[in-house]
């Protein structure tokens, strides 16, 4: 079978900016950080007390009493974001999608809040675990609940590859549609990770900032933990056209590889090779990319490595290539990061606006890339590349181009 073009017909988001892809995009475009005081249920004595959490999100009010008991926040975020994507795609939410539709979800951790609460109750409060603890905490809870919600009886599974989880899930769905295995996928990434235990664990790695996320800045001192979900409806172009759907963008390229070197130290050559794979997959040259949504965690090693990788992958074009990280806005969503950032990337492409790179008054001279400044830039954008560079050396890059572009 000839490889098929794949389009994005719907997308949705739950993030620190609120519910909705539009809320996320406006915050990113307008440079309005959604980072605030850490809110956890039990007393917290950590040093880092900020996060980009999803706030004021009532799971039962949004999902109803039949579904809410089975939904850890990571599942709930995915379901609400997917409802938005399905509605935008023009699909009937009550129509079963059947065996030609997959439900895939990337998540780094799965039901961490259920795990954290359960451990606290067992070891501190000497209480029994909640009855539905196991079906709520497993990473497959997210995609299985998605499949049930939309009657998607095709492939259904979770992908857990740290900060590349969401991007890999989306990339795999792209490949499955191209290959003719399925016609449609409800896919993305979700994470609900701001718990007492998680915050302390990340703090011990010395990668959390106590004040500001400063990607590629000389004085950067770490990331802000974020939460949320980004979900998409991907379809074969001819399938979308047959039902009169209006695509938002074309998902043109995907690359993924592994450093196979170190659990936490990234490798520039591997990251560059990953970007080159995505370019080849999309049939594009480096000069065809006008904006990169960088992984840009504002950690010491990641930013230098990613900047080096961009210079390798794009060579002389790197000086003309606009780059920004939007993590100072929505935080680092771990397994949801790539999906949240793909929402931003698609909107950047559609509005022809490169979102700002905040808090970088003094760029690190070791990061020789052309950063977008503190304000968004209106500029012609033909294609966008979005990077996810994860612990364990797992890299993923996605490329989007305008709908209908050759």
Q: Which DSSP category does 43 fall into?
A: -
Flag whether pLDDT at 207 surpasses 60.
Answer: yes
Mean pLDDT of 398-404: 95
What DSSP string runs through 177-234? Answer: HHTTS-SEEEEEEEE----HHHHHHHHHTT-B-SS---TTBTT---B-BB-EEEEEEE
At residue 406, the pLDDT reads: 54
Q: Over the stretch 170-191, which tens digit does the pLDDT of each residue have?
A: 999 999 999 999 999 999 999 9
Flag whether pLDDT at 234 surpasses 90.
Answer: yes
Q: Over the stretch 267-304, which tens digit does the pLDDT of each residue have?
A: 999 999 999 999 999 999 999 999 999 999 999 999 99
The residues near 406 (Cβ < 8 Å, ≥ 6 apart) are none
Question: What confidence tier does 208 reach under pLDDT thresholds 50, 70, 90?
Answer: very high
Task: Say if strands 377-378 and 394-401 run parallel, antiparallel, or are unpaired.
Answer: unpaired
Cα distance between residue 102 and residue 183, in whole Å: 8
Give helix 165-178 / helix 337-351 axis angle, nearest 10°: 70
At residue 1, the pLDDT reads: 43
Q: Over the stretch 315-366, which tens digit does the pLDDT of each residue have?
A: 999 999 999 999 999 999 999 999 999 999 999 999 999 999 999 999 999 9
Q: Which residues pair with residue 102 across a beta bridge?
A: 185
At residue 214, the pLDDT reads: 98
Instruction: Output the average pLDDT for the chain.
Output: 96
Question: Per-domain residue ranges for the chain?
Answer: 6-242, 253-401
Going by C-alpha positions, the residue among 341, 333, 346, 327 that lies closest to residue 73 is: 333
Q: Which residue has the higher pLDDT, 115 or 1?
A: 115
Going by C-alpha positions, the residue among 131, 78, 73, 137 that lies closest to residue 104 is: 78
Fold designation for 6-242: Peroxisomal Thiolase; Chain A, domain 1 (3.40.47)
Give helix 73-89 / helix 112-123 axis angle, nearest 10°: 160
Q: Over the stretch 91-145, which tens digit does the pLDDT of each residue have?
A: 999 999 999 999 999 999 999 999 999 999 999 999 998 999 999 999 999 999 9
Mean pLDDT of 21-29: 98
At residue 2, the pLDDT reads: 55
Mean pLDDT of 31-48: 93
Going by C-alpha positions, the residue among 320, 337, 71, 99 that lies closest to residue 213 is: 337
Catalytic residues: 163, 295, 332
Domain 253-401: assigned CATH number? 3.40.47.10
Flag whether pLDDT at 41 surpasses 90.
Answer: no
Flag whether pLDDT at 11 surpasses 60.
Answer: yes
CB-hemisphere CA count at 13 Å for 261? Answer: 13
Note the pTM of the prediction, 2 decimals.
Answer: 0.97
Same fold, 6-242 and 253-401: yes
Task: Please list, residue by residue across 212-249, b when 16 or more beta carbons sit within 10 angstroms of its beta carbon and e when fewer do.
Answer: bbbbbbeebbbbbbbbbbbbbbbbbbebbeeeebebbb
Question: What confidence tier does 3 reach under pLDDT thresholds 50, 70, 90?
Answer: confident
Cα distance between residue 70 and residue 218, in whole Å: 45
């Amino acid at each position: 079978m000839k490889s098929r073009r794949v389009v994005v017909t719907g997308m949705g988001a739950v993030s620190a900016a609120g519910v909705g892809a539009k809320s996320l995009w406006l915050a990113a475009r307008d440079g309005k950080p959604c980072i605030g005081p850490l809110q956890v249920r039990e007393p917290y004595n950590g040093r880092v007390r900020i996060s980009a959490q999803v706030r004021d999100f009532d799971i039962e009010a949004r999902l109803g009493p039949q579904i809410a008991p089975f939904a850890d926040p990571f599942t709930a975020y995915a379901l609400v974001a997917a409802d938005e994507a399905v509605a935008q795609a023009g699909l009937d939410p009550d129509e079963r999608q059947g065996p030609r539709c997959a439900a895939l979800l990337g998540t780094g951790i799965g039901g961490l809040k259920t795990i954290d609460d359960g451990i606290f109750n067992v070891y501190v409060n000497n209480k029994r675990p909640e009855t539905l603890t196991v079906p709520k905490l497993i990473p497959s809870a997210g995609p299985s609940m998605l499949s049930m919600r939309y009657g998607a009886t095709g492939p259904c599974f979770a992908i857990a590859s740290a900060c590349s989880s969401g991007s890999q899930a989306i990339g795999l769905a792209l490949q499955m549609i191209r290959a003719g295995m399925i016609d449609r996928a409800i896919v993305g990434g979700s994470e609900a990770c701001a718990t007492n235990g998680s915050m302390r664990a990340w703090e011990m790695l010395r990668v959390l900032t106590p004040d500001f996320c400063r990607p590629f800045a000389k004085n950067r001192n770490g990331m802000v933990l974020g939460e949320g979900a980004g979900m998409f409806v991907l379809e074969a172009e001819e399938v979308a056209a047959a039902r009169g759907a209006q695509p938002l963008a074309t998902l043109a390229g995907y690359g993924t590889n592994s450093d196979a070197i170190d659990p936490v130290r990234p490798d520039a050559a591997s990251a560059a090779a990953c970007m080159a794979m995505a370019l080849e997959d999309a049939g594009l040259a480096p000069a065809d990319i006008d904006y990169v949504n960088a992984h840009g965690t504002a950690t010491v090693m990641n930013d230098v490595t990613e900047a080096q990788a961009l210079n390798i992958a794009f060579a002389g074009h790197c000086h003309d290539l606009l780059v920004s990280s939007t993590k100072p806005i929505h935080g680092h969503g771990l397994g949801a990061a790539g999906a949240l950032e793909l929402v931003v990337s698609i909107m950047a492409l559609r509005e022809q606006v490169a979102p700002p790179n905040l808090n970088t008054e003094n760029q690190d001279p070791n990061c020789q890339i052309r950063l977008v400044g503190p304000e968004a830039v209106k500029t012609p954008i033909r294609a966008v590349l979005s990077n996810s560079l994860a612990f364990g050396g797992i890299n993923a890059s996605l490329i989007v181009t305008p709908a209908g572009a050759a």
